[in-house]
Amino acid sequence: MLIRYSDWKKPTDAAYAFQLRAAEGFTPEVPEPGTRSDIRDVAREVLTPGEAERFERQVHRWSGPEDVVGEAGEKPYEGVQRTFEEHVWRDALGMSDLDSVMRGNVLVMRNGAGRADYVLRDHHMLDVALYHYRTTGELPSALFHADRHSDWCRDSYLEARRPQQAATWWKLFEGLKRPGGEQPVLSEQDVFFATGKAERSVSMSGRDSDVPIRIPYFLDPDALHWRSALERPGALSSDWLSLDLDYFQPAPQLRVSRGLMRDARFHALLSDARVRVFVLSPQFTNGGDRIEPWETQGSLHSSLRLVNLLRQLPGRVRLEG
Tens place of pLDDT per residue across the chain (321 aa)? 454 544 678 999 999 999 999 987 789 999 999 999 999 999 999 999 999 999 999 999 999 999 998 878 899 999 999 999 999 999 999 999 999 999 999 999 999 999 999 999 999 999 999 999 999 999 999 999 999 988 999 999 999 989 999 999 999 999 999 999 999 999 999 999 999 888 888 888 877 766 557 889 999 988 899 999 999 999 999 999 999 999 999 999 999 898 999 999 999 999 999 999 999 999 999 987 778 889 999 999 999 999 999 999 986 554 344
Domain count, the chain: 1
* 264 located within any domain: yes
* 267 located within any domain: yes
Residue type, 271: S
Contacts for 301 with CB less than 8 Å, ≥ 6 apart:
95
Sign of CA dihedral 299, 301, 307, 312: negative
Q: What is the pTM of this model?
A: 0.94
The Cα 16–Cα 54 span in angstroms is: 9
> Which residue segment(s) compose the domain that 178 sits in?
10-320
* 159 located within any domain: yes
Q: Which neighbouring-strand residues pair with 242? A: 145, 277
Query: In angstroms, how far is CA 29 from the centroid of its own chain?
Result: 22
* 137 located within any domain: yes
* 125 located within any domain: yes
DSSP type of residue 292: S
